[in-house]
Structure formats: structure tokens, C-alpha cells
Structure 1
Amino acid sequence: MNATAESTAESTMSVWATGQQQSRHQRKGRYLADSMKHPAKMLPAIAATVIDTYSASGDLVVDPMCGIGTTLVEAAHLGRRGIGVEFEQRWGELALANLAHARRQGAPGSGRVVIGDARAVTALLPEVAGQAALVLTSPPYGAATHGHVRSSRDSGQPGVHKWNHRYSRDRANLAHQSLPDLLEGFGRILSGCVQLLRPGGVAAITVRPYRDRGELIDLPGQVQQVARQAGLSLADRVVCLLCGLGENRLLNRASFFQLHEARKGQARGLPIHATAHEDLLIFRKPPAEAGDLPDGAR
């Protein structure tokens, strides 16, 4: 992927052209058709670029909230070893099916999925402690997302019909929690992931602001604070484009609801625009001190 970077005193700011193809085209043939039913899938181009940039062949890559297994599939295609944790049995089984599909396509890496609550990730993956080169994941954005939409323009019927817009109806799912509880739970997940990472390992988090009853929630900023409290240091900030780059213009990839909300806001005089990028926050676990290393590694 093409990228530009600008260095700052604390971190690097980069732009990745990850939206040159629409999401469904990035998945076509590479993932099973049922994958489109998940309401908040990570863009494969983002996952692949993160894995290629921040890990090497044979490295261990972990996704504690793996959904349909995008991180695991892209890791397998790049020759990494992947482990995912997924709260929902339905999505975990689909992640395993996608991994099997990747192997049939010749992916040289491997992967497995553990069904469980990532807030206890160290108990679920005790054998991984200190082994992972990269953790790649994304927090949920509430109990439901835009999902798939058919408007009256498409159906000829009045109203808007939505489907595939819920993670689940299980109230124990982190997606159902209030923002403070979501951040507390995600902080526990990150604290566990710090224990899984090897010294100097990377935790990469895709996240974006969202609106709740019209209020813009700075989720990236709050995730940075939670990650810092978990013991991670911010190393890079990446703008992952969801729009495409044409010769003389941006190629819009916004959903029906994103455009609808932007137009409603603009009609009220509010400077609302459709989302055109995903924030990618790159954190590092501090390197080991000499006293923390095994005798043979000093």
C-alpha cells in the first residue's frame, strides 16, 4: 500500500491507501460469503498492511476480538501464526471456516480460534505469554452498526430496512456496555495483551470517532488513554483511507447511513461529513530491561 509519513517528537503520522477497492471486493473469493453478515468487519487491506509492516514471517499475531477472523486470515496468507479469541460462538466458528478456506487457497501460515471472553485473555491463552510479535484488534462501536440497508429507492417500499447490523443479543457482550464500561473492559483486554506481547512488541488498534445521539465521541483519544494506562506507548498514528484515490478526486465508499446523516447535519448547518478514513493507533510494549531477560539472553 502507498503511504506517506510525517515524524513528530513522539510518534509518526502516516497515510495508507487501503480503500482502493471496496470492502466486498477485497473479501470476494478470499472469505466465505457468510462473512458479510458480521456488522463491523476489519478491512482486509488494513489488516494485511499492519501485519506486513509490524511483523515478520513465522511471527505470532493475536487478535483478542477476532470476529470473522480477518486478522487471522491475512496473517495466514502472509506466513504468520495467528491466534484469535471471539466471544460469540457464531463468529468464532466462521473465523475457523475462513481459516480453512485460506489454507485451501494455499496460505502458508496457520491459525486457531478460542471461544471466550477476551477480558480474561491471559487465562484463555496462558501459553502465549511473552510470545506475540503483534496484537491487532478493534473495539466495538455499540450494540449495533449500520449493517446492510435497503432504502425505499431500492425496494419501492416505504421506509428503510436494515439487516446484519447486530453483533449479538447477548447482554454480556462488550458491545452492549455503556461507554465507560466498554473502555474499562477494553482496558482489561489491552492489559492482558501486554502480557502476551514480547518485549518491544506492537499493539495495533483500528478505531474511529462515532456519534451517539448527535454527539461526537472521540473514541480514538479515549483508547489512547486506556492503552497508556495498560502500559503501552504510542509509536505511530496512521490514517487508513476508506475512500479510494482517483486521478483527480476521492472515490466515495461511504454507506447509505453515513451519507444520510451527513446530509441531515449539513441541512441543519452542522459541519458533518461522511467518514473517509479509519484511525490506526500503533503502540509498543516497552523493551525488556536486562534484569528481566533470561540468563542465556543477556
Structure 2
Amino acid sequence: MNTTYHAVQVPSIWATGQLQARSQRGTRYTRLSLEHPARMLPAIARTAVEYFTRPGEVVLDPMCGIGTTLAEAVHLDRDAVGIELESKWASIARLNLDAAAAQGASGAGEVHTGEASLTAAGLAHAAEHRKASLLLTSPPYGAMTHGQVRTARDGATAVDKHAHRYGRTRLRANLAHQPLAELLASFTAILAACRGLLEPGAHVVITTRPFRTKGVLVDFPGRVMDAAAEAGLEPVGRCAALMCALREEGVVRRTSFFQSIETARQRRLGLPAHVVQHEDALILQNPGSHQGEEGASC
């Protein structure tokens, strides 16, 4: 099913997993980027930017991590603004923007370090700050499947999990360290503060997926959609951004080590668990509309 945004046909299924994540990042990103536990797939960021913005417009990510949203936006001739709480990730995001500029990206990007809702509110009061046509972000979720692993094949004496923490310090403002209800309330506050940085009718795309905690399946996408609506945004669609590859012979899974072992563990407990092969792309709009533009559900 296709839906018209910015006079562009947007499919309900995004084929964003055709290449492995490492191949998608290639030489565009510094190797330090691999230390972040939950990087957005570049093809997902690129697809959202292409569908919901035009060249020269601004893309905002209030929890930008290592800056995937920003880097893909500037490579597509959009400008980008990122906010990141953890100084380490903010520094890496700036390095990735520097790399994009060195590679000929025509857009301009900036990263602000600080708590997202406070920083967004401050930027919104800066008269010179251009408003964004797209907010693209992903809240933290499903931490048990994050990270990378070294095994005996890599010279380790045991399975060694690394690059699985959002920060060295457990900052309370970091949503990754908050219980679910508090996380959702914080995310609502962030989105509400960001509305002052958005054009009327600007789209908001949030990528997330369901997960299990203590054996119970959590409809995290549904909870996030409710949180965004509580922030005053208008839900208009829900698409599936594939992590797997589509081939003539069938589907090729893209499954991390920890996703595989966590799913196997849950099945041994008798739970009907499956390896998730897509991200839910939740689509909302800032109230108001640009003249002549239309938004509808996927």
C-alpha cells in the first residue's frame, strides 16, 4: 500500500535491509561509531529523509547518538540538527559530520550536547534557528539484544560482550537507564519540547520495535505512538522498515548474535518468541499543514 507525502508515494514496507549494516556504513562513518549499542540502520534514516523532506530542508534528531540521521541527511543535501545527552556520542556524531563534509556532502550539520527537552526548548527560543521539516529518531529499547561479541574465533577465551552500554555513567536523564513508564514520560517531554523546532505540518518518524521483558511481550511501538500523541503530535501512519534482505529465492535474515541467543532462550522457556526482522516506523505530524501537502496513514 502506498501513501502520498510531499507528493511522493511512500510504501508501507521499506526494503532497507538489502545490505548488511556494516556494508551500509562502509567508510562513511568513523570506526568509533561501532561502540554505540544501538545505531540506526543508515538505509532507514536515508529512506525517511528522502520520503519526508526535500533538498535544503532541515532534519532534527533529538537523541542523535553517533549521528546516523544527521550524516545521511547532509549526504542528501539536507541540513541537520542533532541533540545528544552523552558527550562521547555527541563527539562521534560531530566526527561523522566532519567525515560527510570531507566526502562532499552538500548539507550542513550541527550537534548540541545536553538533555534533549531542555536543549530543544533553548534552541526553539533562538530566533535564528531554522525549523525542521522532519524529526527522525529512535528511543532506546530491548537492551538485552544490544552490543557486539568476541568469541573464540576472534581470539577470546570466552564469549565477551562489549559495546552494549549507552554511556559510562548512568545519567538519570538517559532514557536507556529509566523504567519503561518513566522512559515514555521522558520521551513525551522531549517530543513536546521539540515541537517548537518543527514546521507546521512537519513529519515525525520514530523507529522502534516490540521486545520481551520477564517473558512478557511489550508493544513498545504502540506505547511510543501513544506517548507521541500525548506530546501533541498527530498519528498518521505505521510502516515496516525491513532489517532482512529480500531476494528472489526468499528472505535473508539479518540477526545479531544476541538476538539469536535471546530468542533461543525464550523458546526454551516455552515462549512463542521470534527474531524481529523489521523496525516499526511510526509516522506522525506536527499539527498544522503546508499548503498543498497531504498526509495519510500507510
Instruction: Please indicate, yes or no, whether the TM-score normalized by the shorter chain is above 0.5.
Output: yes
Query: Matches of 2:175 and 2:86 in 1, distance apart?
Result: 11
The CA RMSD over aligned residues, in Å, is 2.2
Q: Corresponding residue for 2:76?
A: 78
Q: Corresponding residue for 1:61?
A: 59
Among 82, 89, 92, which residue is 1:91 paired with? 89
User: Per-residue deviation at 1:21?
Assistant: 0.5
Partner of 2:126: helix, strand, or coil?
Answer: helix
Query: Matches of 1:157 and 1:289 in 2, distance apart?
Result: 59
Partner of 1:270: helix, strand, or coil?
Answer: coil
Q: Corresponding residue for 1:284?
A: 285
Counterpart of 2:131, as a letter, is Q
Q: Corresponding residue for 2:162?
A: 163
In structure 2, the CA distance between the partners of 1:50 and 1:6, relative to structure 1 (3 Å rule), is closer
Query: Matches of 1:275 and 1:31 in 2, distance apart?
Result: 25
User: Per-residue deviation at 1:264?
Assistant: 2.6
Counterpart of 1:147, as a letter, is G
User: Per-residue deviation at 1:171?
Assistant: 2.7
* 1:5 maps to 2:2: yes
* 1:272 maps to 2:273: yes
Query: Matches of 1:167 and 1:116 in 2, distance apart?
Result: 15
Higher relative contact order at CA 8 Å, sep ≥6: structure 1 or structure 2?
Answer: 2
In structure 2, the CA distance between the partners of 1:286 and 1:130, relative to structure 1 (3 Å rule), is farther
Query: Matches of 1:217 and 1:85 in 2, distance apart?
Result: 27
In structure 2, the CA distance between the partners of 1:111 and 1:222, relative to structure 1 (3 Å rule), is same
Note the alpha carbon deviations across 1:167-214, whole angstroms, 9 max, x for none. 112332221111111111100011012221111111110111122222
Note the alpha carbon deviations across 1:208-253, whole angstroms, 9 max, x for none. 1122222221110011111111111111211000011111221111
1:248-263 counterparts in 2 under 5 A?
Answer: 248-263=249-264
Counterpart of 2:82, as a letter, is G
In structure 2, the CA distance between the partners of 1:190 and 1:51, relative to structure 1 (3 Å rule), is same
Query: Matches of 1:130 and 1:81 in 2, distance apart?
Result: 10
In structure 2, the CA distance between the partners of 1:86 and 1:125, relative to structure 1 (3 Å rule), is farther
Counterpart of 2:126, as a letter, is E
User: Per-residue deviation at 1:50?
Assistant: 0.3
User: Per-residue deviation at 1:261?
Assistant: 2.0
* Higher deviation after alignment, 209-218 or 138-147: 138-147
Among 114, 119, 130, which residue is 1:116 paired with? 114
Counterpart of 1:274, as a letter, is V
Q: Corresponding residue for 1:197?
A: 198
Partner of 1:68: helix, strand, or coil?
Answer: coil
Q: Is the 8 A contact 2:12 2:240 kept in 1?
A: yes
Q: Is the 8 A contact 1:65 1:87 kept in 2?
A: yes
1:28-39 counterparts in 2 under 5 A?
Answer: 28-39=26-37
Q: Is the 8 A contact 1:65 1:84 kept in 2?
A: yes
Q: Is the 8 A contact 2:117 2:193 kept in 1?
A: yes
Residue segments in structure 2 that go unaligned for 5+ positions in a row: 5-9, 292-298
* 1:126 maps to 2:120: no
Query: Matched residue pairs, number?
Result: 282
Q: Is the 8 A contact 1:13 1:237 kept in 2?
A: no
Counterpart of 1:232, as a letter, is L
Query: Matches of 1:264 and 1:143 in 2, distance apart?
Result: 15
In structure 2, the CA distance between the partners of 1:281 and 1:102, relative to structure 1 (3 Å rule), is same
Query: Matches of 2:219 and 2:265 in 1, distance apart?
Result: 21
Q: Corresponding residue for 1:295?
A: none
Q: Is the 8 A contact 2:201 2:290 kept in 1?
A: no
User: Per-residue deviation at 1:140?
Assistant: 1.1
User: Per-residue deviation at 1:156?
Assistant: 6.7
* Higher deviation after alignment, 224-233 or 267-276: 267-276
Q: Corresponding residue for 2:228?
A: 227
Query: Matches of 1:77 and 1:218 in 2, distance apart?
Result: 33
Q: Corresponding residue for 2:211?
A: 210
User: Per-residue deviation at 1:146?
Assistant: 2.2
User: Per-residue deviation at 1:154?
Assistant: 5.6
Q: Corresponding residue for 1:294?
A: none
Q: Corresponding residue for 1:106?
A: 104
Partner of 1:205: helix, strand, or coil?
Answer: strand
Query: Matches of 2:54 and 2:90 in 1, distance apart?
Result: 25
